[in-house]
Structure 1
Amino acid sequence: MNIKKYGSFSGRLFNVFNYALMTVFMIACLYPFYYVIIYSLSDPHKISRGGVFFWPVNPTIDSYVEILSKKTVPLAFVVSAAKTVLGTALCIYCSSLFGYLMTKQEMRFRKLVYRFVISSMYLGAGLIPWYLTMKAYGLQNSFLLYVIPGMLNAFFVILIKTYIESIPASMEESAEVDGAGFLTMFHRIIFPLSKPIIATVAVFSAVGIWNSWQDNFFLVSNPNLQTIQLILYKYFNEATLLAAELARNPSAIKEAPKISSETVKMTMSVISIVPILLVYPFMQRYFVKGIMLGAVKG
């Protein structure tokens, strides 16, 4: 009886400690994002006097209005969203199809091709060869630059191939007896059953594509193809000049005192971070399952 009571008490004590520790850890992870948001919504002059900690000081959305009123930002946001959606879809499909192909024992030189693709994870020619290659393919100042180079990812191929190998072979054999071909089995059996790993790959791919800016920086000079990440990079480096430009804007004379370089940085950070954060909740239920099952085999 005493042992049971002691065990019950220790269990409750452990749960309390565990929840308290996880709550502190969660707050430590979420507070930086929350701080950026409330800073962007605060009056910079009020912040300079007392700072901001838990809620916005004299809340205002003037910084968002001014930033979004510049033509480059909404257009760059659309370009970034388009390249993320299209690039992620192509990456998922091509990597999945290739990963499924690598599970076929009857494919000639299968191991050689697979190892050749995997070697690309460890060997890189560098920036200059990459630049010359992209330029030779005619991808300079082209939207295709954002989606074609990332259509096949070696790391994603490993995850997807490993997951597909965990699917019972009897399902493919049954479909093959019914006359299903390679593409039919992939589209109607393998791909639908691979939702957990597909969701995992989708999160990785979307985050990587959304955050990339070097391809835009080195190979795109067309202002209509600028991405939000490159504009964020430029604004971070020129935040003070941008704030001065906004302050001199005749249509914002009354609001100019509410704009500062730090507010511009925080506002641009929110604009670039929040969209990709909204993707994760839809993929969360598949994410852990996919990454664990995809790592069972080497």
Structure 2
Amino acid sequence: MNKSWREYLFQFANSGTLLIFAFLCVYPFYFIIINSLSHPTESAKGVYFFPREITLSSYEQLMQIPTIFQSIFISVARTVVGTIVTVFCSAFVGYMVTKKELPFRSFIYRLIIITMFFSSGLIPWYMLMKTLYLKNNFLLYVLPGAVSAFFIILVKTYIESLPSTLEESAQIDGAGILTIFFKIILPLSLPIIACIAVFTAVGQWNSWADNFYLVTDSSLNTLQYLLYTNLKSNMADIMRTSASGTMLGADLASTGRVTPMSIRYAITVITVIPVMLIYPFMQKYFVKGIMLGAIKG
């Protein structure tokens, strides 16, 4: 079928708009990466499309932090362990609240939902964590987020969209709750499980507030908190060593030293790149899980 010039014009405008939108989404990350790789002098002048005088001085300075590899291990460990625990606990609770045989099922589900609207605040949270002996404890990164009301809602809605005959036939064959959950519900719920895993992993990887409030043991510091404290101390050192605190930005970059901005670029790349590498592989499950979990109101 021959297309009219209006249809060609619409396709051209539509494609151009989408390309511009995609460029606007990708360019900020690209901008940060090329500036983190450029020499501080060139970066201070403005690097917009290609890195200039490529150097790893900002990354080398970050790698000189004494406990950075320990912090990387802690961040990876909390992300992996925390994601597994949260996915399992939230999925199991979400499955249980779909069981009509569960006593006070409606009350328990409503009680879970209420936690999404009301928060006790920072001080009660701090006192609770301290009472549970989670201060300076790795479990601080895992247990408080083991059950999420939002994830329970997603799982419950998704499970209710599955054919009930599958579970009924398993019960006739003598399968118990755990058998049904692990051998039937979990395999059929992979899209929503992947969705929850992406949410949890990103949140665990980027989290540092719990480290800030409840951890004083440097061996338990997360990567994000360590980079945050290093950025503050680095900026303070630069201010002290500058001429009366006035040599900043381009003036400081002209000496060949890393600047606060170049350190920020390097820190941003280190914290964002792992998420950007993992998310594309989980995106199809992520979108599918959200859509299927929203079929029922």
TM-score by length of 1: 0.90
Corresponding residue for 2:268?
Answer: 269
**1:131 maps to which of 120, 126, 140:** 126
Q: Deviations over 1:257-292 (max 9, x none)?
A: 242221111111111111122221111111111101
Corresponding residue for 1:64?
Answer: 59
Corresponding residue for 2:247?
Answer: none
Q: How many residues are treated as equivalent by the alignment? A: 285
User: Would the alpha carbon gap of residues 63 and 172 (structure 1) be closer, same or farther in structure 2, given more than 3 Å must change?
Assistant: same
Aligned-residue RMSD, C-alpha: 2.0
Give the letter aligned to residue 105 of structure 1: K
Corresponding residue for 1:259?
Answer: 258
Q: Deviations over 1:211-270 (max 9, x none)?
A: 1111100000000011112123223433323558999xxxxxxxx824222111111111
Tell me whether 257-266 or 187-196 shows the greater mean CA deviation: 257-266
Tell me whether 66-75 or 145-154 shows the greater mean CA deviation: 66-75
Give the letter aligned to residue 100 of structure 2: Q
TM-score by length of 2: 0.90
SS in 2 for 1:238: helix
Distance 1:14 1:286 in 2: 32
Q: CA deviation at 1:125?
A: 0.7
Distance 2:143 2:195 in 1: 21
What are the ranges of 5 or more consecutive residues in structure 1 without an aligned counterpart? Answer: 248-255
User: Would the alpha carbon gap of residues 210 and 272 (structure 1) be closer, same or farther in structure 2, given more than 3 Å must change?
Assistant: same
Q: CA deviation at 1:12?
A: 4.0
Corresponding residue for 1:252?
Answer: none
1:161 and 2:156 correspond:
yes
SS in 2 for 1:257: coil
**2:196 maps to which of 201, 212, 223:** 201
- C-alpha contact 1:232 1:269 (8 A) present in aligned 2: no
1:242-253 to 2 correspondences below 5 Å = none
Corresponding residue for 2:31?
Answer: 35
Q: CA deviation at 1:69?
A: 2.5
Q: Deviations over 1:152-173 (max 9, x none)?
A: 0000000011001111111111
Distance 2:50 2:67 in 1: 30
Runs of 4+ in 1 over 6 A off after TM superposition: 244-247
Give the letter aligned to residue 239 of structure 1: N
1:224-235 to 2 correspondences below 5 Å = 224-235=219-230
SS in 2 for 1:186: helix
Give the letter aligned to residue 149 of structure 2: A
Corresponding residue for 1:283?
Answer: 282
Give the letter aligned to residue 286 of structure 1: Y
Distance 1:94 1:242 in 2: 45
Corresponding residue for 2:82?
Answer: 87
Give the letter aligned to residue 88 of structure 2: Y
User: Would the alpha carbon gap of residues 231 and 186 (structure 1) be closer, same or farther in structure 2, given more than 3 Å must change?
Assistant: same
